[in-house]
Structure 1
Amino acid sequence: MSNSISARVASLGLTLEPAASPAANYVPFVQDHHLLHISGQISRQGGAPAYQGRLGDTLSDEEGIAAARLAALGVLAQIVAATDDRLDRVARVVRLTVFIASAPGFDRQSAVANGASDLMVQVFGDAGRHARSAVGVAALPAGVAVEVDAVISLVPTSRDIA
């Protein structure tokens, strides 16, 4: 088993894009002691917003699941940036919040959010099992269908303790 998050993602046949830069006046992640807070990551492909629209309107559940997976890949890219791509620094995925742009009456947010949750378990195993909220919203940045933020527990290093 590789000690690199990027290698684990590649072994799943997926591509990890470079971590996205903030779109406004915030930082992409903050480490507070052993907790790493990842700002919301939208679904991106080739550096551009992907899966634009709303579930239950212009996008199918399958497209929503794919969008959630892409947004979760953005979360992973931020973890890579914060940990120097060290899989052994991740103690566990504590929490995901998955925001889903939803048409009125759409009630399958949990199924869509599984695209992000399943990826975390594929990459981190049992340490990827997490608490989660799946929230339907009217709109998201750049018109995308899914945004994911996360809280990650890190294994402390001597740098963190000093």
Structure 2
Amino acid sequence: MNLDQRLTELSIVLPASAAPGAQYAPGVVHQGLAWIAGQLPRDGDRVLVSGKLGREVSIDDAKMGARAALIRALAALRDTVGDLQRIDKILRLNVYVNSTEDFSQQSAVADGASALIYELFGPEQGRHARTSVGVAQLPRNAAVELDIVVALEI
């Protein structure tokens, strides 16, 4: 299926740009793999979900944040490779959750991004390896940050 068509069907609009806020690339391509830099759940400069899980942020809000961060990652991927139709398979998703010491449901937060990957790519292209970890703090006090590794069609 055409990814642009699938995004439209799901009423998802990718940001016009996912340019980084510092001197690094939004993504790097090497030997058929695209490595996309960490993305926050942002709309422009505004962080959509901020704070710590286990304190002031609910799992449902953080899942929505993970989904928003994945949408930014797809925009960064588009900016990096020029055309989302080059995606062969999503290989890896890393999710970092700003959480208290006793919070242990990081994988539930990551489900927000994984579910969208499956919605967009289906079970074959969307089946991915995943890591979800709790961290003491994230940039801009974001509740979640993620990065992806993607295999490109050659």
2:108 paired with 1:111 = yes
Q: Which runs of 4+ in 1 moved over 3 A?
A: none
Give secondary structure in 1 for the equivalent of 2:80: helix
Query: 1:20: how far off?
Result: 1.8
List alignment gaps of at least 5 residues for structure 2. none
Query: 1:83: how far off?
Result: 3.3
Q: 2:34 aligns with which of 36, 56, 65?
A: 36
Q: Which moved more, 1:75-84 or 1:120-129?
A: 75-84
Query: 1:79: how far off?
Result: 1.8
Give secondary structure in 1 for the equivalent of 2:24: coil
- Give the Cα–Cα distance (whole angstroms) in 1 for the partners of residues 90 and 23 of structure 2: 26
What is the TM-score of this pair, normalised by structure 2? Answer: 0.93
1:12-59 CA-to-partner distances (Å, cap 9, x unmatched) read 122321232112221110000200000000001244211010111111
- Give the Cα–Cα distance (whole angstroms) in 2 for the partners of residues 46 and 22 of structure 1: 11
CA RMSD, 1 decimal: 1.4
**For the Cα contact (< 8 Å) 1:17–1:47, is it kept in 2?**
no
Letter in 2 for 1:110: S
User: 1:100 corresponds to which residue?
Assistant: 97
Matches within 5 A, 1:80-159: 80-87=78-85, 89-125=86-122, 126-156=124-154
**For the Cα contact (< 8 Å) 2:87–2:153, is it kept in 1?**
yes
- Give the Cα–Cα distance (whole angstroms) in 1 for the partners of residues 29 and 89 of structure 2: 14
**For the Cα contact (< 8 Å) 1:41–1:74, is it kept in 2?**
yes
1:63-96 CA-to-partner distances (Å, cap 9, x unmatched) read 0100000001111111222333332x11100101
- Give the Cα–Cα distance (whole angstroms) in 2 for the partners of residues 32 and 104 of structure 1: 36
User: 2:69 corresponds to which residue?
Assistant: 71
Q: How many residues are treated as equivalent by the alignment? A: 153
Residue identity (%) = 40
What is the TM-score of this pair, normalised by structure 1? Answer: 0.88
Letter in 2 for 1:124: F
- Give the Cα–Cα distance (whole angstroms) in 2 for the partners of residues 61 and 150 of structure 1: 21
**For the Cα contact (< 8 Å) 1:10–1:16, is it kept in 2?**
no
List alignment gaps of at least 5 residues for structure 1. 157-162
- Give the Cα–Cα distance (whole angstroms) in 2 for the partners of residues 119 and 47 of structure 1: 23
1:103-155 CA-to-partner distances (Å, cap 9, x unmatched) read 12100000100101111111111201100000100111111101110110000
- Give the Cα–Cα distance (whole angstroms) in 2 for the partners of residues 27 and 152 of structure 1: 16
